[in-house]
Amino acid sequence: MGARLQSPPVHATLWRNVIVMSCTIFCTLTGIFCWFRVLPVHLREALGADESQVSYVFFAMAFANRLPQLYGGRLADRIGRKGIIVVVTVLMGLCYAWIGHASSWRMAGLAIVCCWVVGGLQWPSILALITESVPEHARGRALGWFEMAAMAGMTAGPFVGELIERAIPDPDSAWRTLLLLCAGLYLVSALARGLFLHETHVAKAAAPHAPIEWRAIALPAAIGILATAVYFLTTDGPIASLYLKDEIGRSRPEIDRLFFYGGLVALASAPIAGWACDRFGPTRLLRLSFAATAGILAPFALPLAGRPVSAELAPWLFAALFAPAELFVIAFQRLITSQTSAEGRGANVGVYGVLIGIFTPWTYLAAGWLYKSTGHWAPIAAAAALAAVTALLALRLERPTAERPSTPPPPTTSP
């Protein structure tokens, strides 16, 4: 009896989803990060907010981005991934145009919160779509390429922002130009996603919700919460930008340039992290990430010993922090998408988003208080301590089933 050729798995033809999402995430994040790194300075200098009010804006943004994710994940498991991604991308583009024309820090904050609420709905769909588009053994690499494209956008954004700010001397005009550029890139990306993405999930409108395994996610969620707090206290919040402005006297274009250098570090780290995640597993990468983060941030605790960190060294420590951050992002995404079947993957990702969203926004308020009352170095030193604690917790992580050795996959032909 001759050999019978089996149908290839669906994911064999869907690497194009990774390509489309990578190209469009480059565009959207270029749009966001051409203005986001100087947002704290703009809120304070152009719209009249003080440091505490800037912290409140970031606090509200963090809640807005994370809390809708469980609903977004449930929706993705019920109706599919692609439609949510396309509709949300359009809505976010409109929100960015609104942000650019806000005349007070309160109005700007409200516009950003509305944008982040909408954006939070799509993140479980994005992660599920990417991981479902490739074989399981290649998911780390897919996430690595996607993250590399994201970091390319985060790197190009400050570079574009610096060019526009230098070309348009009036800060208000430059700000509106940056936000309109961001809105346009989102609308173009929505069109590309609508035309070229392929749905990976078979919608089952009558299917019950997959149960959430709370005991299994408790420790990874705690690690995700603490790790997110570390970066909220440093490069993913207002502290790094304000520190560079207040302690070292860097201008807005110079702050953009320093984050451009950090983006280059992340850009080089992302594909290596994706390969290492497939090769060594996400748990080992998480441990390495937190240990390296604690070491990089440790010099900011020197004021406790009466020796302030060098003004020449501090910017490069912020740039170096992007490397372990990439290890964390890719390893954590790989971990949380490996814990359940496709039927419940969106909801599982959404649960992590909600838990992180409940606990981590308070970090922004603590950071603002520490920055004003204790010292500009204090939030960063606190981040170093949290990173050390997270490294110890990561030692207790078990390797997920997908990470353990298994028998090789069956051949594509059978006798």
Query: CA 377 to CA 375: how far, in whole Å?
Result: 5
Cα dist. 247→72, 308, 312 in Å? Answer: 41, 11, 11
H/E/C letters for each residue in the chain?
Answer: CCCEECCCCHHHHCHHHHHHHHHHHHHHHHHHHCCHHHHHHHHHHCCCCCHHHHHHHHHHHHHHHHCCHHHHHHHHHHHCCHHHHHHHHHHHHHHHHHHHCCCCHHHHHHHHHHHHHHHHCCHHHHHHHHHHCCCHHHHHHHHHHHHHHHHHHHHHHHHHHHHHHHHCCCHHHHHHHHHHHHHHHHHHHHHHHHHHCCCCCCCCCCCCCCCCCHHHHHHHHHHHHHHHHHHHCCCCCCHHHHHHHHCCCCCHHHHHHHHHHHHHHHHHHHHHHHHHHHHHCHHHHHHHHHHHHHHHHHHHHHHHHCCCCCCCCHHHHHHHCHHHHHHHHHHHHHHHCCCCCHHHHHHHHHHHHHHHHHHCCHHHHHHHHHHHHCCCCHHHHHHHHHHHHHHHHHCCCCCCHHHCCCCCCCCCEEC
pLDDT at 60 over 50: yes
What's the CATH class of domain 16-197+213-400? mainly alpha
User: How large is the average pLDDT for residues 106-135?
Assistant: 91
User: How large is the average pLDDT for residues 314-325?
Assistant: 91
pLDDT at res. 324? 94
pLDDT at res. 356? 87
Please check whether residue 89 is in contact with residue 185, taking contact to mean a CB–CB distance below 8 angstroms: no
Please check whether residue 152 is in contact with residue 119, taking contact to mean a CB–CB distance below 8 angstroms: no
pLDDT band (50, 70, 90) for residue 1: very low
pLDDT at res. 415? 32
pLDDT at 403 over 60: no
pTM above 0.75, yes or no: no
- List the domain boundaries for the chain: 16-197+213-400
pLDDT at 112 over 90: yes
